[in-house]
Amino acid sequence: MKRFRTAVVIIHGFTGKLYDNEYLANYLELNPKFDVYAKTLPGHNKERFSDATKDDFIKSVDEEIKTLIDAGYKKIFVIGHSMGGILTTYLAGKYQEIKKIVLVNAAFLYANTKQGDGNNSKLKVIFDKVMHTSPGIFMEFNKLVKESKKYLKDVKCETLILRSTKDEVVPMEAADLIYETIPASKKYLTNVKDGSHTLLSSNKKEVASVYIEGFLKGGRTWKKIMKKEI
């Protein structure tokens, strides 16, 4: 029965797709205790971005959690990358069924100009892709970022914050902001050495996936592998 299992929801980032988190989803599905769910956010389901608002993003993930609760899940874990991290904190503050969250390079700040490969090529690619498709959807993302910090004060569930040291988009200070703001009694901040913004589809995806699963499993497994840097 669903009430004896754990739902794991993975939320991709802005300009992202399901394949960005495909490796992690497939890895977690190997755990017999997890039922893994993911879907494409509004406005992201075509080659060209279509118009969608910040409220559409919120409604989409909100409906996903409500559906899982209605299906009988009493324990839900949520993993959010970049903009997905912002949406994850919104959900964590709203639903008591969400017991753990993982924030991967969560975009509470963005447009980093210091980290990365020195010329910010990946940041330029992301912004060029958006501005040549639907500038309106970028503005909606910006609105979400501006109001995102209000979600942090309600995050009380156990939280893992992953920060890539070579993130081309989100500055490292964003993770400090999250850690210092959320009132969760159990919170962990781990750096991923030489990790990029698209951590879960990069050459660091294996080590990140193992580490995330360890956190979700908890107990001795987590105590054994928990580090300040991986």
Say whether domain 2-225 belongs to CATH 3.30.70.100: no
- 145 near 169, Cβ under 8 Å? no
Whole-structure pTM value: 0.91
Instruction: Please compute the mean of the pLDDT values over residues 186-205 and round it to a whole number.
Output: 95
**Cα gap 55→86, rounded to integer Å:** 13
Sort residue 174 into left (φ over 0), alpha (ψ -120 to 50) or beta. alpha
Comparing C-alpha atoms, which of 217, 199, 165, 193 is closest to residue 85?
Answer: 199
Q: What ranges do the domains of the chain cover?
A: 2-225
pLDDT of residue 225: 95
pLDDT of residue 106: 96
pLDDT of residue 49: 64
Instruction: Please compute the mean of the pLDDT values over residues 24-45 and round it to a whole number.
Output: 91
Percentage of the residues of the chain whose pLDDT score is greater than 70: 86
Per-residue pLDDT tens over the stretch 81-140: 999 999 999 999 999 999 999 999 999 997 655 555 555 555 565 666 555 556 777 888
pLDDT of residue 42: 84
